[in-house]
Every structure is written in C-alpha cells, then in structure tokens.
A and B are shown apart, each in its own frame.
Chain A
Amino acid sequence: MAAITAEIVPAAPISVPKSPGFWSGVLHRLCRDPVALAALAVLVVIVAVAILAPYIAPYDPTKGSVIRRLKPIGTEGYVLGTDELGRDMLSRLIYGARLSLIMGVVPVPIAFVIGSIIGIIAGYTGGITNTLIMRTVDVFYAFPSVLLAVALSGALGSGLTNALVSLTVVFIPQIARVAESVTTQIRNLDYVDAARASGAPAMTIIRVHVLGNVLGPIFVFATSLISVSMILASGLSFLGLGVRPPDAEWGLMLNTLRTAIYNNPAVAALPGVMIFITSICFNLFSDGLRQAMDVKS
C-alpha cells in the first residue's frame, strides 16, 4: 500500500494557488447589492449618531419647558419639534437611539448563541433528549412573546439589565425551534452519513457540516428578531419595566407621545418612524448578507 502514496504524489511540482476564501467572496458579492449597502449605510449612520450623541444633540434631551410644548416639525431652533414636556425631539431621538439599539440588538445575539446550541443538540441527538429539550422549549414558546416578556421582567424587577434578560429568554425558544428543525433535516442527509463513513467524529460533523448548513437559516431568522426586540422593549418601557422616564428610548417616547397624537400627529409618529427605519434596515441588510453568504448565488 505504500506504493500508492508514492504514486499519488504528483510527478511534477505543482502549486495550487491559494483560493480567495469564503469571506472575501461574501464581501465581493455584498458590494454588488445596492439595497444591502444602502441599508448598511443607514445603520452605520444610526449607530454613529447614537455613539456621538453628546456631540451632535443640540439640546439636553431631558430638559423640558412648559411654554414650548408640542411645537410642530420645522419650528425654528427645534427642527423636529418638541414633545409633550417641551423637550427637543431631535435630541431625544438621537439619545434614544442608544437605548433602543442596545435593547433591540443585545438580546438577539445572546439568544442566537444559546438557542442555536440548544436546538442543534436537540436536533442532532434526537430521541428522548430531543423530546425533553423541545417540550421544555415548547412550554416557553406557548406564551405570546409580549406576555412572556412582561411576566419575566415583572418577576425580575424593572431595569435595563432585567429587561434584556427577559427579552433574551423570550427569543431563545424561537431560535431553538428553528435550529432544531433545520438540524433534524440536515442530520438525515447523505453528506452527514458520508462524513461519518469517512471517519468524522460527532463533534467534527456538528462543527463542520451541521453548523455550516444550519447557521445561515438561523441567522436570517435571528436578524428578523431585532425589530421585534425593539418593539417588545418599548412595550416593557411603557409598562415601567424597562427604561424609565425621563431617559429617552424610542419605544418609551412613542408611548408617552400617544397622548399628543391628535394635537401633533407628525411629532408623535417620529419615534415610530425611527423604529421602522432601523428595523427595516436590519432586515434588508440581513437579507443581503444571507444572499451573499449563499455560495449558490
């Protein structure tokens, strides 16, 4: 058999040029997707504004005045008007981006990691382990997201950290479900069998073949949860379980401004517009990223 090894080594020295690699390919494909790029640009601006809030905001977001309440959009000095307590809307939206982004974005990656692990383990092992894990997950999944988030944060007490924890717990079952169903499909495919037949241990199969094929679909689902997370977070804030006034947060602002909806609807809608823009940009960008990561495109 030693002779074969010798034979397989090529006669002439050949150099295999280094392949460009997966991520540079993704970047290349992403650069040709104008929609994803535009969405990314908007997100970058929002994040930059949130980080640089103290330097950009024209006024203190918490300082109000009764005499300049509910000024319409375009008022001199207050480009986006003022809210029901006379605070500058532009400043509040700028500062609000900080908390909104944190509450929208932080729970999702944490839930993504934990949910994926749970789902992949359940899907890959199957049998009783799967039943035990997935039925437990189903118990959480059975409650409507809002109800579960409110109940958990109520039990944990108010505050930003507790709100983040409860949102994470809300998303874990949803992500675990998706991860489990995708993993179950992949586990029965021929290439997993083929990998086993070529001597790959279970960990390698999970790391290489299952993760490689499962993460894409879960990733897309998870990014769609960012917008849900922002909305849920605003709901928690409204109930006094998340961010508390006078801190600026888009969801909270939306809820406090609802009293002004008949007097000054344009101003009252602004936080909602921001939530909409941010979440749609996350969705569009994640969609573009998914397409760029799909080697079949």
Chain B
Amino acid sequence: MSKEQTVIDIRDLSVTFHRGRKPVKAVNGVSLSVKAGEVVALLGESGSGKSVTMRSLLRLHPKGTDIAGSMTVSGRDVMALSTRELGQLRGATVSMVFQEPRLALDPVYTIGQQIEETIMRHEKVSRQAASDRALALFQKVRIPSPERRLKNYPHEMSGGMLQRSMIAMALACNPKVLLADEPTTALDATVQIQILLLIRELQKEYGLSVIFVTHDIGVAAEVADRIAVMYAGRIVEEGRVGDIIRDPKHPYTKGLLGARVELAHGRDRLVTIPGSPPDLAAMPPGCAFAPRCGQASDICLRDVPLLKPIGETGNIACIQYA
C-alpha cells in the first residue's frame, strides 16, 4: 500500500446465509481496501454479493449469518466490536445511503425529526442545536426552502428530494465512510446525475471514503476512482476507472461494457451476456463465470482462478492473464 491512509480494509470476507435448506454463500473470499478520500464502485449484477459485502461492514446481516474473514474500518476491527461499540460505529463513523429513499425513511415522522434523532443519538446536543444542524445539512444538499422541507413527511417529497435528505441524514454525524447502496437506481435519469454529482462533490469536500454499489457501469465511471467488478460473490477484476473502462481484461467486465444501452444505438439488438449467474447454493467447482464465458477452457471449469495483480494497480481473476 502507498503512504495514503487505508480507511477500509476487508480481507478474505465470506458471508453465508442459512435460510432454507442449503446454506447460500453470497460472498466468497472478497478482499477490498479503500483509502481515505477514495471512491470505490462495487459493480455487479443482482445477487453478485455487492450489497452483502457492503452491509457486512456494518454487520447488518440477520442473526445466524456466518461472516468469516476480517474487516477493519479506520483502525477498528469490525468483527470484534461489541453491540454497543457497533452502535457507535454505525452512523457516526460509517453511514449508509439506501437504494429506495421512500422506504428507508420512516413514514410517520418528519424528515427533520429523523435527522435530529440521528444527530442526538451520537452527540450530546440540544434539540435546538440538532435542528439547526439539520437545516444546515439541508442547505448543504441543496434542498430548496429547507426550513419548510424539514417539516415534511416522506410522502410529501419527491424521490430525488428524499435521496438528498437521505444523504443529509447520512452526513449528519460527520462520518469518515459513506456506504451507498445503489443510491441512484430508483431515481429518474435526470435526477440520477444530480445525485451523483452531489455525492461526488460532498465526498471531495469532506474527504469521505465511499463504497458505491451499483450495477450501472456508466454510474460507476461517473462517480468512482476505482472499480471492483463482482461476480457470484467474488471480485473478478479491480482497477482504476480509466483502466477498466478503456481496457477491460476479464471476459465478464468486457461483457458488461459491451452490454450498455448507449452502445446499442444504431445496432439492431442490445449485446447481452448469454446464460445466467450460477446458483449461489450450488456453485460450480471452477471459475464461476466459465459456463457463460466464450474463452473458457477445461482448467476454467476445474479451478477457481485467484485474484492476481496485473499492470500497476489492477487485479484480475482470470486464467488468461495468470
């Protein structure tokens, strides 16, 4: 690692859910580190384990979920924290923005009350001070007529406005790390870019480390410094945004880049990746992508390729580059 301070360090994380008959291994040996002030996009399709990886950082999984490996957030070992310490970590050091702001805000309280509640949970300040801070936050995320909006209930606001409120709430206690779980997926295209720019702007201003989960490679390119591509619970390729967009190595990343709607322009059909992701409860023995890969050989079906460094900053898990 370079001299820059590593804020998030995930080593060999595996998460197994025990629901139903078979255990489901949603995350399978993921290692990821995020430096101070860096934005890392976790890219992958539904069920690739990107959200699960992120939620593990706050230990938000239901009881009976097996989490193996180690996770360090700003010097603290997340796995060793007591419930009390975990409560102090959540929201104050690490906070999270959810995909559906409409569902992530409690419908029976005003937005202002919810932000005040969050501030007062972590800092011993008066309600007046908390409500002043909430107003300042609303101005920060550029919500028009913030005084009035703070008194709105979630159903009285639009999706974009709610996501701005969510971001304001996430920043309420000056966190070091922001976890964004597809924060723009539920929004209109025009609102999406505004929210992305807002996140990027606030991230620079506050020096936040961000893990940004998305399935949209365009969004990842817009917001991230680095991209980690996940497939079936593993990271298959990782590198700087420019390198990945310009020169994707892993067949899956190539597939993702080729499957963008923007590129379909002028073509008859959208290029897709054939097949579907493997069942996480019954993973193939070799490379998880091999059954869908045009370049797969016998060894791909037999052995799981390891994530190996490629170039100066990248990593890749593909036999072709080993």
Contact = CB atoms under 8 A, between A and B. Distances in A.
Contacts of A193: 60, 98, 104
A75 interface: no
A208 B98 CA distance: 19
Contacts of A189: 103
Contact of B104 (A4, A14, A194, A204): A194
A139 interface: no
B62 to A, nearest CB: 8
B122 interface: yes
Contacts of B107: 191, 213, 295-296
B110 A296 contact: no
Interface residues of B, number: 49
B137 interface: yes
B169 to A, nearest CB: 7
B225 interface: no
Interface in B249-298: none
Contacts of A4: 174, 206
A189 B100 CA distance: 11
Chain A residues touching B, majority SS = helix
Interface stretch (A5-13, A144-152, A238-246, A255-263): A5-13
Interface string B165-179: 000011000101001
B106 interface: yes
Given A190-B103, A191-B104, A296-B153, A8 B136 contact: yes
Tell which of B98, B104, B151, B176 has the most Cβ of chain A within 10 Å: B104
A24 interface: no
Nearest to A295: B153
A194 B24 CA distance: 24
Interface stretch (A80-88, A195-203, A225-233): A195-203
Contacts of B109: 208, 212
Interface in B2-43: none
A194 B87 contact: no
A202 to B, nearest CB: 9
Interface stretch (B89-97, B230-238, B301-309): B89-97
Contacts of B174: 1, 4-5, 8
A142 interface: no
Interface residues of A, number: 31
Chain B residues touching A, majority SS = helix
B155 A190 contact: no
A296 B58 contact: no
Interface in B57-116: 58, 60, 63, 83, 86-92, 95-96, 98-100, 103-110, 112
A185 to B, nearest CB: 12
Interface stretch (B127-135, B215-223, B240-248, B313-321): B127-135
B203 interface: no
A296 B106 CA distance: 12
Tell which of A9, A10, A199 has the most Cβ of chain B within 10 Å: A199
Contacts of B108: 212-213, 216, 295
Interface in A154-210: 189-191, 193-201, 204, 208-209
A297 to B, nearest CB: 10
Contact of B135 (A16, A127, A209): A16
Interface in A1-57: 1, 4-5, 8-10, 14, 16-17, 19
B118 interface: yes
A16 B98 contact: no
A191 B106 contact: yes
Given A190-B98, A208-B117, A295-B108, A16 B131 contact: yes
B150 interface: yes
B104 to A, nearest CB: 4
A10 B132 contact: yes
A190 B104 CA distance: 5
A197 B90 contact: yes
29 contacts: A1-B174, A1-B176, A8-B136, A8-B137, A9-B136, A16-B128, A16-B131, A189-B103, A191-B103, A191-B104, A191-B106, A191-B107, A193-B98, A194-B98, A194-B104, A194-B105, A197-B96, A198-B118, A198-B169, A198-B170, A199-B88, A199-B121, A199-B122, A200-B87, A201-B83, A201-B87, A212-B106, A212-B109, A296-B155
Given A1-B176, A127-B63, A197-B96, 6 more contacts: A1-B174, A4-B206, A16-B150, A198-B169, A209-B106, A296-B155
